[in-house]
Amino acid sequence: MRIALGQLASGTDTAANLRAIDAFAGRAAAAGAALVAFPEYASYEKKKIDATFPAAAQPLDGEVGAELSRIAARHRVALVAGVVESSPDPARAYNTLAAFGADGGLLAAYRKIHLFDAQGFQESAFVAPAPSTDPVTFDVGGLRFGLLTCYDLRFPEQAQALSDAGSQVLLACSSWVPGELKTNQWRTLLAARAIENSLYVAGVSQAPPVSVGNSLLAGPMGEVVAELGLDPGVLTADVSPDSMAEVRRHFPVHRQRRLR
């Protein structure tokens, strides 16, 4: 199956962000992708999370969700994008990944579990953590995709739970905050989660200056299958269940694990 990663430079103009998503989804579909993933906070982003995020929040069936659904259906491609979702607390939103099928139907919604209270940031001041820590997956074209967001990459047990739930591709939709060695950590953690679980990990990030760019697809041996640089753009690459099965035949860690 061919998948695509749409590396954006989202800002506070939600309408402009949606137009960029539409254009990139069209490019992904034209390249033969069955699914295109966009970064965390694809619909609304700025360098520091503040009170404007819950102010911009909408329910998943609001205008932003409806437009993402239309984009997926228009291009006949499954689509995953980070949105700011309303929560029961008006002062805090959910940081949500919404997945839509090629028919526009909602396939899954993942609310970020591990909030970025690190590196001088306090995401939890304006964002509520997911009420559930259950793994969130969905199926497209016979493959199972697992969802995680940015800081979640630093918690290997979450990727393992998604793998145990049958995921063959993890979509790590991110706005990876820049800093010392952060690009190196981004690439290393994507590869590590792939190697640990013998699956594909697709890391799609916002472009600089908000984030580090370098969206990439890591294969089940940790190899970089394809990678973007710093500019916004669309990456397409193929994922192979047969390759994943071959790696698991050589390294049967799923059967050998003793710690539960």
Q: Which residues are catalytic?
A: 40, 112, 150
Query: In this structure, are residues 127 and 49 in contact, taking their beta carbons and an 8 Å threshold?
Result: yes
3-state class percentages of the chain: helix first, strand second, coil last, to nearest 5: 30, 25, 40
Q: Which helix (H) or strand (E) holds 99?
A: strand 93-100
Burial class (CB in 10 A: 0-12, 13-18, 19+), 208: middle
Q: In which residue are the tokens 């190697």 written?
A: 195
Q: What does the DSSP 8-state code read for residue 123?
A: G
- Half-sphere exposure (Cβ direction) of 111: Cα atoms closer than 13 Å: 18
Query: In this structure, are residues 190 and 156 in contact, taking their beta carbons and an 8 Å threshold?
Result: no
Which 3 state secondary structure label does DSSP give 182? Answer: helix
Around Cβ 86, how many Cβ atoms within 10 Å? 17
The alpha carbon of residue 233 and the mean position of all alpha carbons in its chain are separated, in whole angstroms, by 15
Tokens at 12, concatenated: 């506070």
Read off φ and ψ for residue 233, nearest 5 degrees: 175, 180
Of 201, 206, 177, 178, the closest CA to residue 190 belongs to 201
